[in-house]
Structure 1
Amino acid sequence: MRFKGTFNFVHSSKYFFIFSIVVTILGVATLSIFGLNYGVDFSSGTNVDITIKKQVEKTEVDKLLSKYEMSKAPQVTMGSERINIRFNEVLTDKMEKQLKDDFSKVSPGSSFEVNTVDVEIAKELQRNAIWAVLLSSIGIIIYVSIRFEWRFAIAAVIALLHDAFMVISVFSIFRLEVNLPFIIAILTIIGYSINDTIVIFDRIRENLRFAKLRNWNDLAHLVNDSVYQTLTRSINTVLTVLVAAVCLFIFGSESIRMFSLAIIIGLAFGAYSSIFIASPLWAVLKNKEKKTSTAKKPQQA
């Protein structure tokens, strides 16, 4: 089944461009002022996951942690069976042993998972994460340029970078924790976004073979038809993956909650950008090419 509608995606694109630009500016401002709320993976410190056998009250945890003298109080996330404690400083072996002994007294049989990252490793992880996103974007530009044309490549990369930055902006605005699973989520979102965009671009290219583009309205009609022809597939795909991501967010463990949330936000923006950003942007670039070629014709004559 194909959607049939009268909504003009291309002519309405300026409103979506404005919305994305406003969110981007807000994200840039938030990042400039507050930065990202880095987890232990990207800032030095110790992260302790405790699987408890006996229910422990928050007041008991705070009392146990009060004996550790640190510049910043540790962040505690309580669950029914798990407790996550994030120290912004690296725990010494003595402190780590003391923490395990203290929790074993209030909840015997508890198991501990301790992850420590020093300053140099944190900086290296940040650099590697940035390189991973940049290299994947360059690879996509090359692939789309070879398979389609450079205008498709530019529109696709702008759309996927838009999706990645939207997720980063949301995490910065709401001060959500950024860790290694978050970077994995960003790369997953980039892969999903380019896949959804390529499906629409492939239909545009197919329709382009038989289209007679005399003016901007013909070009807009071509893009609108292509979007409508792939809309059912886009909606079904995003809903299927979204249901799985929401279930992970609700029923998954604390360690993958931010990963699941990033995927949910990224899926929504990925579907949005493929339809409302990438396709109209290609139309704008293609229209400029037609205007340039038309302006050159009298000179050639």
Structure 2
Amino acid sequence: MSRLGELGAKLYRGEVGYDFVGKRRFWYGVSILITITAIVGLAVRGLNMGIEFQGGAVFTTPKTSVSASQAEKVAEEAAGHDAIVQELGTGGMRIQISNVDTAKADQLRPLLAQELSVKAEDINAELVGPSWGEQIANKAWTGLGVFMILVVIYLAIAFEWRMALAALIALIHDLTITVGVYALVGFEVTPGTVIGLLTILGYSLYDTVVVFDSLKEQTKDLTKQTRFTYSEVANRSINSTLVRSINTTVVALLPVAGLLFIGGGVLGAGMLNDISLSLFVGLAAGAYSSIFIATPLVADFKEREPQMKALKKRVLAKRAQATRETEAGGFSDGGARDADPDGTQPAVVGPRSQRGHGRSSGKRR
């Protein structure tokens, strides 16, 4: 068995583990700090909305010797707006200019043809109206709302409402971080971004549901025992599924990282950037929130119940009693007390027949 497999087996059996739930306030603080950073980035920089949402024109040129940076400068000077230029595999370019109407597009085509040393009739121009992007945004918000409602209902039925609420908070956490990263990085928001954001919702819930399922199994008849509190069982559930969560997350992140860093970064495929960044950040945030946010929140919610408070009180009382008995264990034997009434000598351990070996060997008087 590999070392990772051995670690997973020990985590599953509870032989080793990290106190995720016990240190939840620290992780809450980390999450709040990250979320605030994302919100500030979103408020200060805003999202770089693509022409699908703002409206504009897309010019596709034939093969040209002009570089992408030169083409971007030419397009911005001609249009008076920011332009996004992407090199195509054919040697041509895709030039996006926002806030351009039909009349402006007709003026830009010959100017671009002249500067790029191509024929004007070879440049293909497509106009995108802002109403189309608005429809996409509205449908995306509708889909997100319906998804959230269905998730809460399902988790409340399959598990309980506290788990549903914790999962909802974790989802909002993941979406906020992902959108904030988009604002900070400055990547363009396109329909591909929307697809990526909606896709990560399911991935974000996957690890959370796995931990919740383990927690549900381990907390059956929990109040009938006095060994563990709810928080301790919740922490054990996280540790028992930790290696599985790490494995599934890494396996999912590897191809997405290939799309982001190779497809988008090296090959310069813009659409891959749009989808892969949202997937990459969302998958990582989802794995993080299932371990450090969702399950600790459930433990917080459950520990407020009267029966769980009573259970915790019984568990702590039993442990305190066991500690006192352990500390007094060295003096529980009557013979040991007689041999050392002042408690200055070590307590004698062993059968009574062996307790005279410490006396002097002289005759009795």
Shorter-chain TM-score: which interval?
0.7 to 0.9
1:47 & 1:82 partners in 2: Cα distance?
Answer: 13
Determine the structure 2 residue equivalent to 1:255: 271
Q: How far is 1:272 from its partner?
A: 0.3
Q: Following superposition of structure 1 onto structure 2, how do residues 275-290 of structure 1 map, counting pairs within 5 Å?
A: 275-290=291-306
Under a length normalisation based on structure 2, what TM-score does the superposition of the two structures give?
Answer: 0.70
Which is worse superposed, 54-63 or 261-270? 54-63
* 51, 65, 78: which one aligns with 2:75: 65
Retained in 2: the 8 A contact 1:211–1:222? no
> Does the Cα contact within 8 Å between 1:216 and 1:287 map onto a contact in 2?
no
Residue 100 of structure 2 corresponds to which residue in structure 1?
Answer: 90
Distance in 2 of aligned mates of 1:25 and 1:63: 35
Further displaced range: 52-61 or 180-189: 52-61
The structure that has the greater radius of gyration is 2
Alignment pair present for 1:17 and 2:28: yes
- Whether 1:56 aligns to 2:72 is no
Q: 2:226, 2:111 → 1: CA distance? A: 71
Q: Which has the higher contact order (CA 8 A, sep 6+)?
A: 1
Instruction: Answer yes or no: is the 8 Å Cα contact 2:78–2:111 preserved in 1.
Output: no
Moved more, 157-166 or 90-99: 90-99
Distance 1:107 1:266, change over 3 A: farther
Q: 2:191 aligns with which of 180, 186, 202?
A: 180
Alignment coverage as a number of residue pairs: 292
> Equivalent residue for 2:85?
76
Rounded Cα–Cα distance in structure 1 between residues aligned with 2:49 and 2:161? 36
CA contact (8 A) 1:151 1:282 kept: yes
Deviation at 1:109, TM superposition (A): 12
One-letter amino acid of the counterpart of residue 255, structure 1: M
Deviation at 1:89, TM superposition (A): 1.8
Query: Which whole-Å CA distance do the structure 2 matches of 1:82 and 1:8 have between them?
Result: 56
CA distance in 2, matches of 1:281, 1:182: 29
Distance 1:180 1:132, change over 3 A: same
CA separation in 2, counterparts of 1:12 and 1:293?
Answer: 19
**Alpha-carbon contact 1:44-1:89 (below 8 Å) kept:** yes
Long gaps (5+) in structure 1: 295-301
Which amino acid in structure 2 is aligned with residue 61 of structure 1?
A
Structure 1 stretch displaced more, 26-35 or 89-98: 89-98
Q: Which of 285, 288, 296 is matched with 1:272 structurally?
A: 288
Give the whole-Å Cα distance in 2 for the aligned partners of 1:7 and 1:109.
66
Give the counterpart letter for 1:198 in structure 2.
V
- 1:42 is paired with a residue whose SS is helix
In structure 2, the CA distance between the partners of 1:83 and 1:53, relative to structure 1 (3 Å rule), is closer
Question: CA separation in 2, counterparts of 1:185 and 1:262?
Answer: 5
Question: 1: distance between equivalents of 2:176 and 2:143?
Answer: 15
Change beyond 3 A, Cα 1:210–1:138: same
User: What's the offset of the Cα at 1:110?
Assistant: 7.8
Rounded to whole Å, the distance in 1 between the matches of 2:66 and 2:127 is 24
Q: Structure 1: how far apart are the matches of 2:120 and 2:107?
A: 19
Structure 2 unmatched runs, 5+: 264-268, 311-365
> In the aligned structure 2, how far is the partner of 1:64 from the partner of 1:35?
26
* Cα offset, 1:228, TM superposition: 1.5
CA separation of 1:142 and 1:48: change in aligned 2, threshold 3 A: farther
Query: What is the TM-score normalised by the length of structure 1?
Result: 0.84
- Distance in 2, Cα, partners of 1:215 & 1:124: 57
Change (3 A) 1:215 1:234: same
Equivalence map 1:1-301=2 (5 Å): 1=5, 2=8, 4=11, 5-48=16-59, 53=63, 55-58=65-68, 60-62=70-72, 64-65=74-75, 68-70=78-80, 72-78=81-87, 81=91, 83-92=93-102, 94-95=106-107, 98=110, 101=113, 105-106=117-118, 115-212=126-223, 218-252=229-263, 253-290=269-306
Q: Do the aligned partners of 2:45 and 2:183 also contact (CA within 8 Å) in 1?
A: yes
Q: Report if aligned partners of 1:40, 1:88 keep a CA contact under 8 Å in 2.
A: yes
Identity among equivalent pairs (%):
30
CA deviation after TM superposition for structure 1 residue 213, in Å: 7.3
